[in-house]
Amino acid sequence: MDDRKTCWEILPHVSRSFALAIKVLPQPLGEQTMLAYLIYRLIDTIEDSHAPLRVKRKLFDSLLKSFSNKKFDAAESEEVKAHMLSQIDCSYERELIEKLPNVAALFYEQPSPVRKATLRWGREMARGMYSFQHKRIRTFADQSRYSHYVAGVVGYLFNDLLYHNRIISKELRTQLRSRARRFGLALQKVNILRDVAHDVPAKRYYWPLGVMQRYRVNYRTLLQPKKRAAAMAVLREEIQDATQYLRSGMQYVTALPKEQIGVRMFCLIPLFMAIESYIACINNSDVFEKDKTVKISREQVGEIVAKSGLWGTSNELLMKWYVACMGRVDAQLGRKVEPHIAVAKSR
């Protein structure tokens, strides 16, 4: 099967929401972003596995090395694939690992600056993920550092890809760098919230220990019904911390060129899906039930996609939408309504 077709077909099996958003990106940016996502998902699969640390280190190194050559080495990709399949436990990611040679083959067709940027941030991602194998997340600052390695670096990469594709200037790339990182954190922290009932039994611990201790819960008791009131209090603090990063996501989008509607939509869709997901988690004890999944409806997703397309070129309409959504967040949290934020001048 054609490598390009194979990669696009595996994408929705790995992430339905990402596969939905990426369709609106112009080419070749869409393909470059898709490939980076698949490569980073492979890195994430190694992190999530229960392999010993020494094995994870070797897997990180061999995977990244297979994408670091001057040209595609089919034999090396097959060896890395076989090694990953033999050393780590995986479920739905198994199909992605099996298609690793297809991902690598298409990756090597990309321009050199794109490959270098993808590898640069992939290496930082793997290094950071590995460092957190040795330490616990005790504070929100720790959680943000972890989220940086998982998603903040993805924001950096996307910013670089926009520049390499001449969608933004070098000056704008620099200006948007910190916003791109915080945007990534906003998207990652909603996953940390929403997936806690599945992460804890799998011994994936991303909620701050220090915050839980203040409410006299820990990872052994967090999901217990008798500790539900305390768990809900921790959830509230999680949401209070996480939603502060949404502002940077909105500022990032409104600074992008207005004529780049596809690029704007690609950012708007996950941003507003994240906002609605935060709203769905507020005061919702289902977050702690393993047999329940807190997610937004298909109707909400459809509305977000439609509004992103209709209003994507108007910063004024986007800001009204954002302020209205954040007003719902503030109302449910019982906090003071966030003031209207300044819109960055569109380039």
Residue that has been written with the tokens 């696009």 in this structure: 8
Enumerate residues 6+ apart whose C-beta is below 8 A from 109. Answer: none
Q: How confident is the model at residue 50 (pLDDT cuts 50, 70, 90)?
A: confident
Instruction: Clarify whether residues 153 and 251 are in a common domain.
Output: yes
User: 165: domain range?
Assistant: 135-347
Instruction: Clarify whether residues 107 and 75 are in a common domain.
Output: yes
Instruction: Clarify whether residues 103 and 173 are in a common domain.
Output: no
Instruction: Clarify whether residues 235 and 124 are in a common domain.
Output: no
pLDDT of 345 reads 47
Instruction: Clarify whether residues 87 and 193 are in a common domain.
Output: no
How far apart (Å, rounded) are the C-alpha atoms in residues 287 and 265? 28
Instruction: Clarify whether residues 56 and 114 are in a common domain.
Output: yes
Residue that has been written with the tokens 């503030």 in this structure: 330
Q: What is the pLDDT of residues 276-308, one digit of tens each?
A: 999 999 999 999 999 988 999 999 999 999 999
Average pLDDT over residues 9-28: 91
Whichever domain contains 186, its CATH number is 1.10.600.10
Instruction: Clarify whether residues 113 and 149 are in a common domain.
Output: no
pLDDT of 20 reads 86
Number of domains forming the structure of the chain: 2
Instruction: Clarify whether residues 7 and 105 are in a common domain.
Output: yes
Q: What is the pLDDT of residues 100-155, one digit of tens each?
A: 999 999 999 999 999 999 999 999 999 999 999 988 999 999 999 999 999 999 99
CB 180 within 8 A of CB 251: no
Give 289 or 20, the one with higher predicted confidence: 289
| Model-wide pTM > 0.75 | yes
How far apart (Å, rounded) are the C-alpha atoms in residues 131 and 320? 41
Instruction: Clarify whether residues 117 and 150 are in a common domain.
Output: no
Instruction: Clarify whether residues 18 and 139 are in a common domain.
Output: no
Radius of gyration of the chain measured on its C-alpha atoms? 20
Question: Which runs of consecutive H residues, i.e. helices, occur in 195-260?
Answer: 196-199, 209-214, 228-242, 246-255
How far apart (Å, rounded) are the C-alpha atoms in residues 318 and 313? 8
Instruction: Clarify whether residues 213 and 104 are in a common domain.
Output: no
